[in-house]
Amino acid sequence: MSQIRAFLAIDLDDDLKPKINKIIREFKKTDANIKYVDLANLHFTLKFFGDIDTQGIDLLGDKINSVVNDFKPFNIKIKGCGAFPNNNHIKVIWLGVEDDIILKDLHDRLDKQFNSIGFKLDKNFSTHLTIGRMKSARNKDKVKKVLESVDADIGSMEVNNIVLKKSTLTPKGPIYEDLKEFTL
């Protein structure tokens, strides 16, 4: 049996990427040890599956279809910037979503379907767009200042589909490949 590393995501609209790149440039000025997400790879993760058997892709697709059929396209507003686990202990730098009730409902319903076929429920799902990962504490105070001062009002986008993706890890970073698209 063949296995792939997979996740379910919402791709970011290309027209929002220049504003996000502007924010990334602000963090780059800190000269902190941050590995930034390639603009082409920016996405909202709905579920990270890890390594799965390729034979299970159709079953996952059935579970996803059973949920997305109940949803119509909806808008999200990308706004706010923060860090996980918090601004004093920075591991992940993210952009948030304002009023993400529909998005969280979509996630929760999908998560229940995935749980019914053996995947663990997500404990603390938080809608976010990862833009960078801090690799050391170098210049952490400068990064914290950017987190607290940056204008992260990115804009709105319509969510009209979600994508099951394959992730191949390479020394230069992950390579994502769309496996299946599901229309709302």
pLDDT in tens, 25-49: 999 999 999 999 999 999 999 999 9
pLDDT at res. 95:
98
Choices 3.90.1300.10, 3.90.1140.10, 3.40.50.2300, 3.40.225.10: CATH for 3-183: 3.90.1140.10
Q: What percent of the chain has pLDDT over 90?
A: 97
The pTM assigned to this predicted structure is 0.93
Residue 22 has pLDDT above 90, yes or no: yes
pLDDT at res. 148:
94
3-state secondary structure the chain: CCEEEEEEEEECCHHHHHHHHHHHHHHHCCCCCEEECCHHHCEEEEEEEEEEEHHHHHHHHHHHHHHHCCCCCEEEEEEEEEEEEECCEEEEEEEEEECCHHHHHHHHHHHHHHHCCCCCCCCCCCCEEEEEEECCCCCHHHHHHHHHHCCCEEEEEEECEEEEEEEECCCCCCEEEEEEEEEC
Q: Which residues are part of the catalytic machinery?
A: 43, 128
pLDDT at res. 172:
86
Every domain of the chain and the residues it spans: 3-183
